[in-house]
Amino acid sequence: MKNSKNEKSTNSKVDQLRDHTTDNTGEMLTTNQGLKINNNQDSLRSGERGPSLLEDFILREKITHFDHERIPERIVHARGSGAHGVFKINKSLAKYTKANFLSEEGKETPVFVRFSTVAGSAGSTDLARDVRGFAIKFYTEEGNYDLVGNNIPVFFIQDAMKFPDLVHAVKPEPDNAIPQAASAHDTFWDFISLMPESMHMIMWAMSDRAIPRSYRMMEGFGVHTFKFINEEGKMHFVKFHFKPKLGVHSVAWDEATKISGKDSDFHRRDLWEAIENGAFPEWDFGVQIIPEEDEHKFDFDLLDPTKLIPEEEVPVELVGTLTLNRNPDNFFAETEQIAFHPGHLVPGIDFTNDPLLQGRLFSYTDTQLSRLGSPNFHEIPINRSINTVHNNQRDGHMRQQIVKGKVSYEPNTIGGGCPFQAMMKEGGFTSQEERVDGQKIRARSQSFVDHYSQAKLFYNSQSEPEKTHLQNALIFELSKVTIPAIRERVVGQLNFINKELASLVAKKVGVDVTKLQQPNGSIPADADPKTLQSTEKEPSTKSSEALSMKNTVKDTIKSRVIGFVMENGVNAKDVKTLKSKLEKEEAVVQIIAGSLAPVKADDGTIFEPKHSLTSTASVCFDALYLCSGKNSAENLLNEDNKPGTLLFVNEAYKHCKAIYFGKETDEIYNASNVKGKKHEDSAIITSESNNSDESFIKAVSNHRVWELEKDRNNPA
């Protein structure tokens, strides 16, 4: 007779194994093997500031599982665009590094660059508020070198242990897969509210840097501190910068939301068309060099990826040029299959013990194994080194290289000892020799504790319009958070950055401002009380001009897209004259009419519209020209065209763009929201203005007149 008690027990166990649902409420963290975890914040390392240890099975399990969560698109940076180009070193860095491609003045190196958003899927919009990836593969004669950076110089977290948590928090919430490509939701801000180290990055992410006008108009940063090593073995720390020659420019948030509806491929199309039109995107390459002996001279830790080095303390020396000059032949084969890895180095460049970088060194190869399906991903054409590969690695899925001979091991005599190890003088890679010792410890260095000083620095450095945009971004994001306690914690974090900012946001998101003065509730969970007290004594007034887009390049209209709005009867002479002047400055002119039917000018000239008033919107253009001609103006205001014409003008005006009203267009001017601002607004040009064509060109080069934003709150 069966033991019913044992049978019930056994069946319960089977049912438990078959039931894959679980509820983490009230439960402790464990590994996938059920081992309880008592520190989920820090990786295991040799000393507080030492390298991470390979034996850290908890870190490896966590990141390995994370790396294989999605197939086949990238877990992060899934939405991307890329192009081929060339990197030229204009000033030798041989004094600091033996890297060949940086040491020979005038040397050119082929590259492939991939830009991307971080949080969204491959099908999401280009205009999400998000960090942008800026990854470069240098095909050097010493092997491939990958610089895998972002358009923001710092990051959310200090240790790779927290990367899966960060991405899980910002991705669509797992119960309903909402929202896509957006951080404005509960789980992201819940995580951020409990991570004081993220606040510097939050200032950047909520700023206009997170909604760039174009990939061609955003900066690139290596994020981490790396090492340069010269021929003598002397080491310097280095930070990498790419500064766009067109300047750093953004769109307004209202524009971004509308562009997403009109053209969700806006950035991808912009990059592709610029290259096709010969307006090759260019960046100045710069470095911040820090002697090894100056490692500890700063009031922050060079190994902390949530910190930047202010350019006032260490200027960026511009030494090279990055140019993108060829679009991919096949998006999937090149842009999608390219595999980056910060561990792809060349002699003369080395890692630091930055704990976020150390984790990335493990993660990237592991990700490619899942995403590209084989350890032979390096044999995909876009990933191949320009050097022939010689080693004893064999076989595996999709192996392409055919290696002759019977030897696949080393050392050997059958193959004459080949392939043999390269001596250092023959270009062999060697890591910097440095002393590493310390207690085995899972903890963070006290030099990483200050989480607010640089967040203050960034906020203080913004112009008033930029501060307004940042404030509005925080208000928008937190208004989407449904849990009051999370909003309260975030505002509490903001209070340690700027009390006025915190109060303004608090009032708009329903947080009791008086609670900000209380010692408990608003203080971050893992913050050091001494640090919090010191940050509250006196508000920091330090600022850095390099952190504000107000000081960026504003002397070119190259590749700017100007919309010429016209209808039948347009003044052909004025159109041709202005079009010629703009194209001489390398701007792009696109004609917009009531429909795509040819437009007949006053002299019989036929203009072919690229867009209709209903197929596009002013948000897709950098500036507008309401073309001269009384008949054209009247036709633009007829029953069919008037709503679209005025929407174009009013939205462009609201977004502080340059608008040029040609001759005999007063009827449009007077019907629009621009009325009453004649001769008072530097972005509004009329035919009555002095040197009106030249004034328009100057206004376009200024990008926007953000300072007048408050005067432009007319409904669009």
Radius of gyration for the alpha carbons in the chain, expressed in angstroms and rounded? 28
114 is in an annotated binding site: yes
The Cα 9–Cα 238 span in angstroms is: 62
The Cα 524–Cα 493 span in angstroms is: 7
Nearest to 466 by CA among 208, 213, 247, 668: 208
Q: Give the tokens for residue 388.
A: 């022939």
Residue 384 burial (CB < 10 Å; 0-12/13-18/19+)? middle
The Cα 491–Cα 636 span in angstroms is: 48
Q: Order the strands of the 611-612 sheet from edge to edge.
A: 611-612, 588-593, 561-565, 623-626, 658-661, 684-686
371 is in an annotated binding site: yes
Sign of the C-alpha dihedral computed for residues 203, 204, 205 and 211 taken in this order: positive
CB contact burial 412-442 (16+ within 10 A = b; e otherwise): beebeeeeeeeeeeeeeeeeeeeeeeeeeeb
DSSP 8-state class, residue 433: P
User: Are 130 and 121 in contact, with CB atoms under 8 Å apart?
Assistant: no
268 is in an annotated binding site: no
625 is in an annotated binding site: no
The Cα 107–Cα 94 span in angstroms is: 12
Residue with tokens 């819940």: 190
Nearest to 510 by CA among 483, 547, 471: 483
How many other CB atoms are found less than 10 A from the CB of residue 375?
Answer: 16
The Cα 44–Cα 161 span in angstroms is: 10
Question: For the chain, how far is it from start to end, CA to CA, in angstroms?
Answer: 82
Three-class SS of residue 84?
A: strand
| Strand residues in 247-369 grouped as ranges (E) | 282-291, 317-326, 349-350
User: Are 207 and 466 in contact, with CB atoms under 8 Å apart?
Assistant: yes
653 is in an annotated binding site: no
Q: Report angle CA 197, 203, 208 to the nearest 5 degrees.
A: 150
Could you confirm whether 224 is annotated as catalytic? no
Residue 540 burial (CB < 10 Å; 0-12/13-18/19+)? middle
Catalytic-labelled residue, pool 84, 100, 144, 150: 150
Who's near 121: CB < 8 A, 6+ residues apart?
A: 73, 78, 79, 180, 181
74 is in an annotated binding site: yes
Residue type, 663: K
Could you confirm whether 84 is annotated as catalytic? no
Helix (H) or strand (E) holding 659: strand 658-661
Three-class SS of residue 134?
A: strand
Give catalytic residue positions.
77, 150
Q: Which residue ranges are tagged as binding site for heme?
A: 74, 114, 163, 360, 364, 371
